Amino acid sequence: MNDQYLLIQAEHLKEAWLRGKEVLERALPARLEDDCFQFQAFGETCKLCPDGITLGGKHPTGPEGILISLYARNVRDEPARIHPLQSFKELPNSGPYQGAFVARSEQVLVPHVLSIERQRQVIARYFSGTINTDAPSGDFSFTLYPLPRIPLYYIFYLPDEEFPAAVTCLFAADATSHLSVDGLADVAEYTGKKIVSFV
């Protein structure tokens, strides 16, 4: 694991635990087992312990460990308020991250739209998500939960004779209450990589 990642993760984790067990249990939300909180993160079982994090039984080796610890440090004790949905560019102070977000979180999925459609039920289940029946547009849609209070609402457009495939990733109305804008961008990027792994 990158030493710098470890240091950042440890700092966020320390601050998260200073919130107190009762607050963390409600805010994450999670189940306390053997002095560690257990919940789903990025489709896998996550254990948040005072001395570290495991994801799918392994210590995270990339930015996902930082994202989980940052989430634990900042998430509010309130259920996600999904509507009205908002695009990334509508999030406050998202301008500097806009280009990277489009490229790494939306465009990265475009070549795989047909395969994602075939696997949409599996992907939604993996991320504790749902197939959306209320999508305002698009050919299919699902909501994924990479973190319990950070839903990502995806709308997919299949290619046809006139238009290429397209993907839109939307955020909950209160997304920035639970995580910073750059953190949200990173969550969407890492979620996109996981989606591609299914196809």
Three-class SS state of 2? coil
Q: Which residue has the tokens 């990173």?
A: 186
Q: Which pLDDT tens digit goes with each residue over 69-128?
A: 999 999 999 888 999 999 999 999 999 999 999 999 999 999 999 999 999 999 999 999
Identity of residue 59: H
Put simply, whether the predicted model's pTM sits higher than 0.85 gets the answer: yes
φ, ψ (nearest 5 deg) of residue 7: -65, -45
CA distance 77 to 14: 18
Report CA 135 to chain centroid distance, whole Å: 19
Q: 3 vs 6, 54, 55, CA distance in Å?
A: 5, 16, 18
Domains of the chain, by residue range, sit at 3-74, 86-197
Q: Which residue has the tokens 């989430």?
A: 71
CA distance 152 to 171: 5
Question: What is the mean predicted confidence (pLDDT) over 180-187?
Answer: 96
Q: Which pLDDT tens digit goes with each residue over 6-59?
A: 899 999 999 999 999 999 999 999 999 999 999 999 999 999 999 999 999 999
Q: Which strands, in side-by-side order, build the sheet including 150-157?
A: 86-87, 166-171, 150-157, 140-147, 130-131
